[in-house]
Homo-oligomer: A and B are copies of this chain.
Amino acid sequence: MDGFQQRREQKKHAILETATTLFMKHGIQKVPVSEIAKKAGVSQVTIYNYFDNKHTLVHACFLYYVDQALLEFERIVESDMPFPDKIKQIIFNKKETSQINEEFYHYLMKEYTSGETNYIEKIYVEKAVPYFTQLFEEGKKLGYIDPNLSQEAILFYIKMFKDTMQQEEVYKRVLPLTEDITNIFFYGLFGKREND
């Protein structure tokens, strides 16, 4: 990559970074392109030179975010910490991946899971699911996960926890309950019984 290309990539990166942060903080509709431009220190038109329109930009931000999240995810799954800790980190580590949140997250969910394209699905299948599979296998082998459970169900379950924790307010309120919730996570409402 030559110098031109490099600077181009840097600028693109800056825009992406700024936009993603803003979208995550305030939601998509509430962030005008003009504000992204101002905060990123470029002209609006420059943004349009890199991304066809706002929608495309949002799309790119999403991919950018997913990439970061997957990296973090990979780090956790492939680390050598005990299985339960991996799970805890995945569920509770909101702050580590970079705080995605609410409006942005759900806009994406809406935008990308409904209708034709379904990018989230695609990304997940292609990239995240392998890690999850690996994680679940480990869990089953170690006896933490019921081997009768379908992978889809487990995936849903863990994703539900993870997504729920993404919400700032929920996260704050639930933090003191970490112990209980981890228990519920593994043993459900029924709880862990003596004779296990």
Q: Which residues of A contact B (CB under 8 A)?
A: 27, 29-30, 102-103, 106-107, 109-110, 113-114, 139, 144-146, 148-150, 152-154, 156-157, 160-161, 163-164, 167-170, 173-174, 177, 180-181, 183-193, 195-196
* Residue contact B180 to A149, C-beta cutoff 8 Å: yes
A136's nearest neighbour on chain B, judged by CB, is B189
With a cutoff of 8 Å between Cβ atoms, the chain B residues found around residue A174 in the complex are 156
Q: Is the interface of A mostly helix, strand, loop or mixed?
A: helix
Oligomeric state, in copies: 4
Q: How far does the Cβ of A138 sit from chain B's closest Cβ, in whole Å?
A: 12
Complex CA distance for A110 and B180, rounded to whole angstroms: 25
Complex CA distance for A153 and B167, rounded to whole angstroms: 16
A105's nearest neighbour on chain B, judged by CB, is B106
With a cutoff of 8 Å between Cβ atoms, the chain B residues found around residue A177 in the complex are 150, 152-153, 156
